[in-house]
A and B are shown apart, each in its own frame.
Chain A
Amino acid sequence: MTDYLDVDARPILRAGGEPFSVIMAAVGRLQQGQGLRLYAPFKPVPLFAVMADKGFAHSASELEGGEWEVLFTPVGVERETTPIAASNSPFAPWPEPVVELDNRDLDPPEPMVRILAAAEKLGPGETLSSLLRREPVFLFPQLEKRGFRWLGGFRPDGATYELTVRAPS
């Protein structure tokens, strides 16, 4: 039986904080063979790759209200021991947006058109942000084909979707 150390990222995120360092500190405290049980308000997919590099397999299960419990279990051999540099971390801060769009009251698919047009004008590594009414599911493949990264999520009221797009650097 693997023994797990619990980390709850939910209150940290609720308070507007950044849980990555807390998670990594907890990983550093783990004893040989010990795993990590993480609670998060959403499925922390990029963390899976980070933890895989550190030799942990993951198994994620959804809880009530869209929250997630993820078990990171050591797979025995550590594949990589180099610590992840802050600049390469998926959680390294992005620069403040150079363009802010409010596309909440536009007819679909006008928000997508405007975001792609504005994204094409970004310099390397620059970001833009946009407010939307819906998750722009048809926009994502277009952004990805062009090499853009993006972060998005609904605000706590559930009515406004906030999207940030970063140009390839």
Chain B
Amino acid sequence: MPLQARVRGGVWSRNSRWDDETIMIGGSISRWTMTYFAAALTWLLAALALMVAGIGHPAADLAAPDTLVLVHVVCIGWLSIAMCGALFQFVPVLVAQPLFCERWALPALALVTAGLVSLLAGFMALGARLPSAPWLLPLGAVLLVVGFGLIVVDLGLTAWQRPSGPARFVLVGLASLCATAAFGAVFAFALAGWAGRIGDAVLARGIPLHAIAGLGGWLTLTAMGVSYRLLSMFMLAPDVEDRKSRITLAAGALAVATTVGGGAAAVGFELGLNMVLSIAAVFGLVCAALYGRDLAGIFRARKRRQLELNMRMAMLSFASLAATGLLGIALVATRTLSAHLGAFAFLAAFGWLSGLVLAKLYKIVAFLTWLETYGPVMGRAPTPRVQDLVAESRATKWFAIYYVSVWMGTLALLAAQPGAFRMAAAAMTVGVVGIIHEIIRIRRLEDVALPLRLPAGAVAPHLLFAKT
């Protein structure tokens, strides 16, 4: 029997010699992913410095300009930029298609960074830390919308080509990013006094909608989708059944849609938001519970018993997500949610999202660095394993310091102890600096034994971008 008839499914679909369309299949290394990661980690350090210095919540009110600075450094500078960097690498792999336009990645990063700087300056002007300049906020919003717009179009058109399991999560996440940015832009224009009566109404009551669409829809749903594939890949488990992950996503998407659609209608008709947010919260909890069920399934079905550091640390972030859900229920039951919103958001942003991103960065950087350096010589010269690029025992303690101090910080916020919170933030900084140091060592191949480090034909990677 001819070979082609035996190998079905992809027989004609893949071979670069025949057609230009098949040359790129989404398995190459994204050139700017490391640049995004470096920018994101820089913003994370900036956020930690603000928290250690006592700028923003809890030293200031939740709606104070200083808090807005801190929140946007964390959510845009750190989490969103890191997530976009990961998606530029991950989405093409997910759908086995090349990125719609690789060339947009770097200008998009520049626009988002410039927009964020302008936005932060605008907030500082609001708080009288800078001279008044009302145009800063709208300018920041426009730059951010254009920058994220490039990213959304690029990733969205790529994911759209094969919208299966995890790619669907990314698409809903990108839609939520659009909603978040739209609300944010209206706020920015309203704060500058350029948005009229409707803009003022949205600003007065729309902030929870903006926050839920961003933290819940964009960051959480995207992180969930990405984790499905990464976990099953690295633990040798079958992918989660499409039907199951689709229901999980539906619950999450309903939570976001209820918040954004119902919330916007409530603002428009001058109705209360409580009913809308309660319904959204139920969908959100169902989504988190179903996600927990899906993860448990992956862990049960895994072939690889011994877990790597990134996976053990990711479990701590899943525990933090569960704790965030329970904390939310407890705060609502005791009618203290508004008093402790800061603690709730802090645990979601640092325990769940930041913890997961840091744990996965540790693995992704090692894998991409290994592939970039040793891929070209593999099979021709002895090469190290991916695990030879990392020193897990040394890195474990930095992650442990990080998670313990995040949980301590949450308790300090709940107990309204700003001093203790600053100490926890200082301890988080120690953990994060340690993790960044490990990541730089990975990039520089410093933990690879010398005889294997650079075989003939291999080229040392650049710290900030991929050469191939």
Cα of A91 to Cα of B15 in the assembled complex, Å:
12
- Nearest Cβ in chain B — how far from A126, in angstroms? 12
Cα of A144 to Cα of B23 in the assembled complex, Å:
8
- Nearest Cβ in chain A — how far from B49, in angstroms? 37
Asked if B21 and A48 sit within 8 Å, CB to CB, the answer is yes
* B100 within 8 A of partner (CB): no
Total chain B interface residues with beta-carbon distance under 8 A: 46
* A4 within 8 A of partner (CB): no
**Beyond A48-B19, A116-B378, A153-B7, is A43–B12 a contact (Cβ under 8 Å)?**
yes
Cβ–Cβ < 8 Å partners of A44 in chain B:
12-13
Asked if B13 and A42 sit within 8 Å, CB to CB, the answer is yes
Cα of A139 to Cα of B16 in the assembled complex, Å:
13
**Beyond A18-B4, A42-B9, is A49–B19 a contact (Cβ under 8 Å)?**
yes
Cα of A139 to Cα of B93 in the assembled complex, Å:
12
Query: Would you list which residues of chain B between 1 and 25 have a CB under 8 Å from chain A?
Result: 1-19, 21-25
Select which of A134, A142, A164 is within 8 A of B3 by beta carbon.
A164
Asked if A13 and B8 sit within 8 Å, CB to CB, the answer is yes
* A135 within 8 A of partner (CB): yes
Q: Beta-carbon contacts of B366-392 to A below 8 Å, as 1s and 0s?
A: 010011000110111001011000000
Cα of A105 to Cα of B386 in the assembled complex, Å:
17
Cβ–Cβ < 8 Å partners of B22 in chain A:
45-46
Main secondary structure of the interface of B (DSSP, over half): loop
Asked if A90 and B9 sit within 8 Å, CB to CB, the answer is no
* B419 within 8 A of partner (CB): no
Cα of A43 to Cα of B188 in the assembled complex, Å:
47
A-to-B contact residues, CB < 8 Å: 13, 16-18, 40-49, 90-91, 93-94, 96, 105, 107-110, 112-113, 116-120, 127, 133-142, 144-145, 149-156, 159, 162-164
The 3 closest A-B pairs by CB, nearest first: A153-B9, A153-B10, A116-B379
Q: A109-B386, A137-B25 are in contact. List 12 more A-B contacts (CB 8 A).
A: A18-B2, A42-B9, A42-B11, A46-B18, A46-B19, A108-B234, A112-B378, A116-B379, A137-B96, A151-B14, A152-B9, A155-B9
